[in-house]
Amino acid sequence: PISLASFLLAIRRISSFVPHYYARYSHVKL
């Protein structure tokens, strides 16, 4: 359960960080 909770938290944090960096990199590419 602890590992699962940590995994879900990591996913939520990643989903929070990804769009910002993805937008920045896509902007740089364009």
CA distance 10 to 6: 6
Residue matched to tokens 């910002």: 20
Helices within the chain (DSSP H only): 2-29
**What are the pLDDT tens digits along the chain (30 aa)?**
789 999 999 989 888 888 777 878 777 765
CA distance 23 to 25: 6
Q: How high is the pLDDT of residue 30?
A: 56
Q: How high is the pLDDT of residue 3?
A: 92
Q: Where are the domains of the chain?
A: 1-29
Q: How high is the pLDDT of residue 25?
A: 79
CB-side neighbour CA atoms (13 Å) of 26: 6
